[in-house]
């Protein structure tokens, strides 16, 4: 398989759908002009805001996000991950925190509904109750098996704390793990990079982690540091703290080399 460039986009999404889509378009354009063929957007790329504000506009956010992703993938002829956006679940008043992967034909090739919900009182005083508006997904995460891009497994944000999800993905053949996020600034400073490197190292897989950064709304501040990590755990690119793009090469001979040097996947006993 040929090497190619992947991009992890970093945004400060706000409670304004149009503004966020315009920002995402700018960064997709930038990533493609730098040669990226696989482009990831962060969790909640199209809307970050109070849950009640999100709920009030959820139909439009879901519809416009899907139209946007398909348009971008076709226009730029790249594969795009819509890190996540809310998709209403019938008339339940809740939505799935949904991540979709769209190929250059504008076809959806994978869809994942976030399984682990962030119901946490963070020690900085912020309280998160994702389950008050989000329905937990009940399906195992999908892998898109691509002859051109490799086998790409999906996940979202808080999932990164549950290594069994990634073990499942690598067991099923994933070479690349997408971990789009809106990590809190408080937890991010101590946990983000360590968790991502651990998932890359233990699964000897590439990790592509698009991220939210800065002040998104009210007291919500996100950590940034969208990164791409190689299967040895090396940080290949880091977007820092400002909105932007992290770009790095996905190289299958490097992947095979690491899997020869450190054959831990072959030594698995439990799963
Ligand atoms: O708050 C918002 O508006 C946006 N947040 C999100 O989209 C999600 C669900 S609340 N955030 C996380 O999962 C953070 C996980 C995390 O930070 C950790 O695991 O430490």
pLDDT at 219 > cutoff 90: no
For residue 156, which atom of ligand 1 is closest to its CA?
13
> With a 6 A CB cut-off, is 189 part of the ligand 1 pocket?
no
Neighbour tally for 33: CB within 10 Å: 10
Ligand 1, atom 2, lies closest to the CA of 48
pLDDT at 114 > cutoff 90: yes
Place of tokens 């998709």: 87
Distance from the alpha carbon of residue 267 to the mean position of ligand 1, in angstroms? 34
* The pairing of beta strand 95-102 with beta strand 108-113: antiparallel
> With a 6 A CB cut-off, is 43 part of the ligand 1 pocket?
yes
213-240 mean pLDDT: 97
**What are the φ/ψ torsions at residue 142 (nearest 5 degrees)?**
-85, 160
Secondary structure percentages of the chain, helix, strand, coil, to 5: 35, 30, 35
pLDDT at 195 > cutoff 90: yes
- To the nearest whole number, what is the mean pLDDT of the chain? 97
pLDDT at 51 > cutoff 90: no
By three-state DSSP, how is residue 51 classified?
helix
> With a 6 A CB cut-off, is 158 part of the ligand 1 pocket?
yes
Reported ipTM exceeds the 0.90 cut: yes
112-to-146, 147, 191, 248 alpha-carbon distances in Å:
17, 21, 24, 24
At 52 the pLDDT is 87
> With a 6 A CB cut-off, is 187 part of the ligand 1 pocket?
yes
Percent above pLDDT 90 for the chain: 97
H/E run at residue 257: helix 252-261
Ligand 1, atom 6, lies closest to the CA of 182
Ligand 1, atom 14, lies closest to the CA of 183
């Amino acid at each position: 398989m040929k090497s190619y460039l992947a991009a992890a986009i970093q945004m400060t999404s706000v409670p304004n759908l149009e503004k966020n889509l315009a920002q995402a378009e700018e960064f997709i354009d930038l990533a493609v002009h730098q040669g990226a063929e696989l482009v990831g957007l962060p969790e909640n790329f199209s809307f970050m805001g109070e849950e009640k504000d999100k709920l009030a506009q959820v139909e439009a956010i879901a519809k416009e996000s899907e139209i946007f992703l398909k348009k971008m993938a076709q226009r730029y002829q790249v594969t795009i991950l819509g890190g996540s956006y809310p998709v209403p679940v019938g008339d339940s008043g809740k939505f799935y925190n949904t991540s979709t992967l769209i190929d250059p034909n504008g076809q959806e090739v994978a869809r994942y509904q976030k399984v682990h919900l962030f119901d946490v009182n963070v020690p900085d005083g912020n309280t998160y109750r994702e389950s008050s508006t989000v329905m937990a997904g009940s399906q195992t995460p999908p892998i898109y098996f691509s002859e051109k891009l490799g086998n790409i497994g999906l996940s979202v944000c808080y999932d990164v704390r549950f290594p069994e999800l990634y073990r499942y993905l690598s067991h099923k053949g994933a070479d690349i793990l997408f971990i789009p996020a809106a990590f809190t600034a408080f937890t991010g400073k101590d946990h983000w990079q360590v968790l991502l490197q651990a998932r890359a190292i233990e699964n000897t897989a590439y990790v592509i982690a698009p991220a939210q950064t800065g002040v998104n709304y009210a007291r919500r501040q996100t950590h940034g540091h969208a990164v791409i990590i190689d299967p040895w755990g090396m940080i290949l690119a880091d977007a820092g703290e400002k909105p932007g793009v992290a770009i790095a090469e996905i190289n299958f001979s490097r992947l095979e080399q690491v899997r020869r040097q450190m054959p831990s996947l072959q030594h698995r006993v439990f799963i």
